[in-house]
Amino acid sequence: MDGTKETAGLKNVSSVCSISEMDDFDLSRLLDKPKLNIERQRSFDERSFSELSIGLGRGIDNFETTYSPGGRSGFNTPASSARNSFEPHPMVADAWEALRRSTVFYRSQPVGTIAAYDHASEEVLNYDQVFVRDFVPSALAFLMNGEPEIVKHFLLKTLLLQGWEKRIDRFKLGEGAMPASFKVLHDPIRKTDSLVADFGESAIGRVAPVDSGFWWIILLRAYTKSTGDLSLAERPECQKGMRLILMLCLSEGFDTFPTLLCADGCSMIDRRMVRGELLGELQTISVKELNLTVYDLIWSISVHLSPLRVLISSSLLHVPSALIYLQGIYGYPIEIQALFFMALRCACSLLKHDEEGKECIEKIVKRLHALSYHMRSYFWLDFQQLNDIYRYKTEEYSHTAVNKFNVIPDSIPYWVFDFMPTRGGYFIGNVSPARMDFRWFALGNCIAILSSLATHEQAMAIMDLIEARWEELVGEMPLKIAYPAIESHEWRIVTGCDPKNTRWSYHNGGSWPVLLWLLTAACIKTGRPQIARKAIDLAESRLLKDGWPEYYDGKLGRYIGKQARKYQTWSIAGYLVAKMMLEDPSHLGMISLEEDRQMNPVLKRSSSWTC
């Protein structure tokens, strides 16, 4: 079968460039490369899966058959060839119907999908808006189904919004900032449409979305890879838009790390989710025994244990018997660093090599080498590395220090020792001086695999961890956004008693069906489609029956989230993308980048901290 097919006036083409092009990718030669070259001389019918390993040894060799991207087989079905061995699940048609119902139009053109189509909810809030991050799985679903126009319109409209002046109170945001979301206002009297964007001025906590610009660049590459249309990315406004986004991130300052410093709530986890480790039971200690005045002790606690609430009862204080260790999404969160890395790599292949573009690419290449080394060295954790940190000495001085961030071994939370399998590993949530957030974050680790921020060995170890800790990370509904949950006293301190982020709910250990597409993509890239198939089976047993919830609650993800919206668009789109990728793995090329051998540091597993 031919690799392209005309259907409904749209061309559905192979979404992966030639394997020879992938293998030749080398950051050190980017400056000599004239521009992105997408080769489409052979269809996937003519290629074996051994050629599609995407830089990882096992690749997708486990598949016994080959696939062709083909064309749409029907209005409500994903793009797949007639000879595909997969039987379409009955809920696929319902998912497509729900996805199309969420489409937003601006002057008769589709420009995105709303966050949720839940008419049963009394409060609309901002769920009737088009969110940049939320639209990504919808965009991938449409691209895989041979419908690129909505994606093109979305990219151009958000680019238009980027050019608006952005102010929060009296402060002007950077020129390159992308909106978190936008809304189309219809005037029935004048019969006109207008756009209203939110750059963070209406968001909870008034935080600008750092991830929006990264997702925009990643989606632009996905559109280009899917359609073979270079003209959109080469438009002057798109080239300028990419440069403006990157200028916000690549500007020089006081940073000593190549990672990107950002605030709480700037990504998918858009609420305060600081992590605190209470390393001892609360004890009542006599002030006289410590030979301190009450005021001295309060001052000491406020400096070293902030934001602990100290309860004073006459001459007695209730304080923890050990240190409270705090770390949060603020700082250098894995989700932002992984997206930053992927956006940089995508921009490298999309920017023109003119005078402005070449200068930007030079900065990107330098940052990529530094960022990949930093993340693979200091964010990576496996059994041996955990044991090494456990035995660290502190207060080391000079460039020969092994414990470079002065991490205090007593700050390692108890749960991680049981959570870490002998085989397996992951990128931890956050690293900064004297602080490590050991939590698992799904999105950051999946993006690390897809962007090849994770080395081949690390990607395999992440999948080993998911398999070994299936009950904890997947349970009855994929996939935990973060693990473990913050509970009890710790929850009250670090979330401010947030009623939405109670234990095992929402961002605090909730299970999010949208993450299914990221898990599936990571599984296919690492040659473990059976893991994705198992996760999809779990989702199919509940999602449609439950009305496509936004998230699930409970340790196993058994209950529909207490404040979850029904008919959440990215839950629907995430399922469709996962199904289509598993049926036709060629779609992986839209969202996957092969490993660049030039960025591999000379490191041995678990020894990176001593380099």
pLDDT tier, 163 (very low <50, low <70, confident <90, very high otherwise): confident
Both tokens of 64, joined, read: 């016994």
pLDDT exceeds 80 at position 590: yes
Indicate the burial class of 354 (C-beta count within 10 angstroms; 0-12, 13-18, 19 or more). exposed
Q: Which is it for strands 109-113 and 316-320: parallel, antiparallel or unpaired?
A: unpaired
* pLDDT, position 329: 59
Question: Looking at the predicted structure, is the pLDDT value of residue 133 above 90?
Answer: yes
Q: What is the pLDDT of residues 488-520, one digit of tens each?
A: 877 777 677 778 888 999 889 999 999 999 999
CA end-to-end span of the chain, whole Å? 52
| pLDDT, average across residues 2-14 | 39
* Residue 512 burial class via C-beta count within 10 angstroms: exposed 0-12, middle 13-18, buried 19 and up: buried
Q: CB–CB of 409/395 below 8 Å?
A: no
Contact (Cβ atoms closer than 8 angstroms) between residue 84 and residue 67 = yes
- Of 212, 126, 138, 208, the C-alpha closest to 173 is 208
Q: What is the pLDDT of residue 86?
A: 53
Determine the pLDDT at residue 600. Answer: 64
Exposure string of 191-208, with b = 16+ CB inside 10 Å and e = fewer, is: eeeebebbbbeebeeebb
**Please, are residues 88 and 55 in contact by the beta-carbon 8 Å criterion?**
no
Instruction: Say if residue 24's pLDDT is above 60.
Output: no
Q: What are the φ and ψ backbone dihedral angles of 68, each rounded to 5 degrees? A: -120, 140
Q: Which of the listed CATH numbers 1.10.3720.10, 3.30.70.260, 3.40.50.10490, 1.50.10.10 matches domain 90-275+330-590?
A: 1.50.10.10
Q: What share of the chain in percent tops pLDDT 70?
A: 71
Instruction: Among 83-97, 193-207, 458-472, name the most confident range.
Output: 458-472
Burial class, 181, CB count within 10 angstroms (exposed 0-12 / middle 13-18 / buried 19+): buried
Strand locations in 72-226, DSSP E?
A: 103-106, 109-113, 130-131, 167-168, 171-172, 181-187, 192-198
Q: Which residue has the higher pLDDT, 543 or 27?
A: 543
For residue 443, is pLDDT > 50? Answer: yes
pLDDT digits (tens, 9 = 90+) for 298-339: 434 333 333 333 333 334 444 333 333 344 556 799 999 999
Across residues 23-29, what is the average pLDDT? 45
Q: How confident is the model at residue 279 (pLDDT cuts 50, 70, 90)?
A: very low
Phi and psi angles of residue 245, each rounded to the nearest 5 degrees, phi first: -60, -45
Percentage of residues in the chain having pLDDT higher than 90? 55
pTM over 0.75: yes
Confidence (pLDDT) at 401: 87
pLDDT score for 569: 98
Cα angle 511, 517, 518 (rounded to 5 degrees) comes to 80
Q: Is residue 527 over pLDDT 50?
A: yes
State residue 325's pLDDT score. Answer: 38
DSSP per residue over 420-434, as a string? S-SS-EEE-SEEETT
Q: How many CB atoms lie within 10 A of CB 460?
A: 21
**How far apart, in Å, are the Cα atoms of 383 and each of 140, 144, 595, 605?**
36, 39, 24, 10
Between these two residues, 87 and 562, which has the higher pLDDT value?
Answer: 562
What pLDDT is recorded for position 282?
Answer: 38
**pLDDT at res. 284:** 40
When pLDDT is averaged across residues 478-497 and rounded to a whole number, the result is 84
Q: Would you say residue 392 has pLDDT above 50? A: yes
- How is the chain split into domains, by residue range? 90-275+330-590
547: left (phi over 0), alpha (psi -120 to 50) or beta: left
Is the Cβ–Cβ distance between 146 and 157 less than 8 Å? no
Phi, psi of 266 (to 5 degrees): -100, 10
* Pairwise pLDDT comparison (92 vs 406), residue with the higher score: 92
Which of 252-256, 323-327, 483-487 bottoms out in mean pLDDT, i.e. has the lowest? 323-327
Q: What is the pLDDT of residue 119?
A: 66
b/e sequence 242-264, b meaning 16+ C-beta within 10 Å: bbbbbebbeeeeeeebbbbebbb
- Comparing 110-124, 356-370, 567-581, the range with the smallest average pLDDT is 110-124
Question: pLDDT-based confidence at 37, cuts 50/70/90?
Answer: very low
Q: Which two tokens stand for residue 439?
A: 């939590």
Query: pLDDT band at residue 346, thresholds of 50, 70 and 90?
Result: very high
Chain-wide mean pLDDT for the chain? 78
- Whole-Å CA distances, 174 to 163, 168, 245, 246: 10, 11, 9, 11
Q: Per DSSP, what are the bridge partners of residue 5?
A: 12
Residue 120's pLDDT is: 67
Give the strand pairing for 5-7 and 10-12. Answer: antiparallel
200 near 208, Cβ under 8 Å? yes
